[in-house]
Structure 1
Amino acid sequence: MSEHLIAFILGIVEGLTEYLPVSSTGHLILVGSLLGFTGPKASTFEVIIQLGSMLAILVLYFKRFLSLLNFSTIGKPVKKLDIVHIILGVIPAAVVGLILHDFIKSQLFSPKVVVVSLVAGGILMIYAEKKHRPFTTNTVDELSYKQAFIIGLFQCLAVIPGFSRAGSTISGGLLARADHKTSAEFSFLVALPIMVGATGLDFIKSLHFLHSSDIPMFSIGFITAFVVAMLVAVAFLKVLSKIGLSVFAYYRFALAVLFTVFVIL
């Protein structure tokens, strides 16, 4: 199979899974293994296509991110998402990720960890879906600082490969009494700073693996991930409140079985 086709396939996989609660890491490892695309070049490629998914959220929420630069509403009773919400949602995972970055990359990026995380994350999602109390928050502008911080704490789970950032944060949002769409939208917003930091660090460490001959392949993956991620994020927000998290949890369980069969055994 040509590298260009591999790039296209993996770009689709990244775009489809980055903002869904199904673990993009797990999918990329599984599909990469099936395609025979592994090693340092594959790891660098994954960093590049994640940048494509990040750009999609930046484009979709560009006005929202610009509005965060307005500091006049901070601490005031007016209901408006502000930069403090984002900081509270980002700091816990940023601190954990920064402290444990090397350990995570060297010790936790293994198929067995991914399988356990897929199952554990699925159980958390089912629990959040079944146990959440009546919602008190129906838009991101109604989120309190406390809710933002709770979601941020749950985002810490996403540093474990296979757990899923979206699955962790949306579950945290539901348990903090924010509805499905609000939890998902805030998940997108707090994912961007975390991904910029983590992916930027990985990108710097991967620079020596980049060669000019890889530009066409990496460009195909980047553009594909960008387009697909944008379409998926919009569609996900429309259907999540109707289908809930449980269906994604059961999918994760099935993926864990496939992962065990095709990657571990």
Structure 2
Amino acid sequence: MPDWIAAVILGLVEGLTEFIPVSSTGHLLLTKKLLGLPSGFWDTFSVMIQLGAILAVVVVYFQKLWTVLITLHSDPKSRWFATSVLLSVLPSMAIAFVAHDFIKTVLFESVVLICVMLILGGIVLLVVDRWAPEPKEHDAMQLSWQRSLGIGFCQCLAMVPGVSRSGATIVGGVLLGIDRRAAAEFSFFMAIPTMVGAFALDFWSNRDVLTGENLEIIAIGFVVSFLSGLIVVKTMLDFINRYGLAPYGWWRIGVGLIGLGVVFLG
């Protein structure tokens, strides 16, 4: 298979799954296994195209984010929002800094672990969707610092591939008393510094393999990831409001079971 076709496929998988609670990392790793892509460059590729999906969030929420930026010096609400987002990403950034190599070289190589986490995460989504506590906060831009930090600790669970960063943060937010729409929206905002940090770390660690040809492949994945991510960001909040988290739970369980079937019966 030509590299550019693989880049398009992985870009679609990244953009379509980054912001929904199904584990984009798990789906990317399983897709790479199915396509027979080797580790090394393609692992770096998968991290770097996440920046395309993050750009989709920036585009959709540009007006809100720009307003916060230009009013940081004068508006306490803007400062509170910026502080809450930064607070929420500190736990995962600390763990990533310490355990980056272990996560990439050990956990990311286990297909069985990914599938099991997909299934367990799906069950959690089904349970939370049915028995979630009554929400007490409804504005993603004005969460209490305790809830912001709590969501940040939940995000640390996503260091295990198959858990899902958005899944961990949305479920954590709902369990902490935030309504589903606000929890999903805050997960979008958290993704910006989290993924930019992951991109920077991976870019620096693998700068020697980023040749001209490789950069062209990354650019293809980046654009596809951005365009497909744009669609998801624009539609996901309404979908969650209407259908809840259960469809994502069933999807995760189905993919996880298929993956285990391929591993043990294929």
Query: Same fold per TM (> 0.5)?
Result: yes
Which 10-residue stretch deviates more, 230-239 or 204-213?
204-213
- Deviations for 1:171-206, whole angstroms, at most 9, x for unmatched residues? 011111211110000001011111111221112112
Question: 1:31/1:131 Cα in 2 relative to 1: closer, same or farther (>3 Å)?
Answer: same
Aligned to 2:134, the other structure's residue is in SS state coil
1:135 aligns to what SS in structure 2?
coil
1:128 corresponding residue in structure 2: 128
Q: Which residue of 2 is the match for residue 17 of structure 1?
A: 17
How far, CA to CA, are the matches of 1:161 and 1:62 in structure 2? Answer: 30
Answer whether contact 1:33 1:263 (CA < 8 A) is retained: no
- With over 3 angstroms needed to count, the CA separation of the structure-2 counterparts of 1:207 and 1:141, relative to structure 1, is closer
Task: Please list the CA deviations of residues 84-113 of structure 1 after superposition, one character each: whole Å capped at 9, or x if unmatched.
Answer: 211221112222222222221122112122
* Structure 1 residue matching 2:106: 3-state secondary structure: helix
Instruction: Give, in angstroms, the shift of residue 73 of structure 1.
Output: 4.0
Gaps of 5+ in 1: none
Does the C-alpha gap of structure 1 residues 263 and 210 become closer, same or farther in structure 2, counting only changes over 3 Å? farther
C-alpha distance in 1, partners of 2:9/2:35? Answer: 10
Partner residue, 1:84: 83
Verify the 8 A CA contact 1:81 1:140 in the aligned structure 2: no
**In the superposition, relative to structure 1, how do residues 142 and 119 fare at CA in structure 2: closer, same or farther (>3 Å)?**
same
Q: Note the alpha carbon deviations across 1:40-91, whole angstroms, 9 max, x for none.
A: 12112212311211221222223333344414444xxx69852121122111
The answer for the alignment partner of 1:182 in structure 2 is 182
Describe the SS at the equivalent of 1:141: coil
* Separation in 2, partners of 1:83, 1:7: 34
Contact 1:26 1:114 in 2 (8 A): yes
1:133-212 alignment runs, 5 A limit:
133-212=133-212
The percent of aligned pairs where both chains have the same amino acid is 37
2:43 maps to 43
Q: CA deviation at 1:222?
A: 0.9
TM-score w.r.t. the length of structure 1 is: 0.91
Cα displacement (A) at 1:12? 0.7
Give matches, 1:27-42, under 5 Å.
27-42=27-42
Q: Secondary structure at the match of 2:141?
A: helix
Q: How has the CA–CA distance of structure 1 residues 80 and 142 changed in structure 2, closer, same or farther, with 3 Å as cutoff?
A: farther
In the other structure, the counterpart of 2:105 is 106
Provide the secondary structure at the position in 1 that maps to 2:206. Answer: helix
Distance 1:215 1:191 in 2: 23
8 A Cα contact 1:68 1:81, kept in partner = no
**Equivalent position SS for 2:253:** helix
**Which whole-Å CA distance do the structure 1 matches of 2:44 and 2:174 have between them?**
34
Secondary structure of 2:49's counterpart equals helix
Contact 1:17/1:23, CA 8 A, preserved across alignment:
yes
Q: Match of 1:140, SS?
A: coil
Match for residue 62 of structure 1?
A: 62
Structure 2, unaligned runs of 5 or more: none
Aligned residues: 262
Check the 8 A contact 2:137/2:177 in 1, yes or no: yes
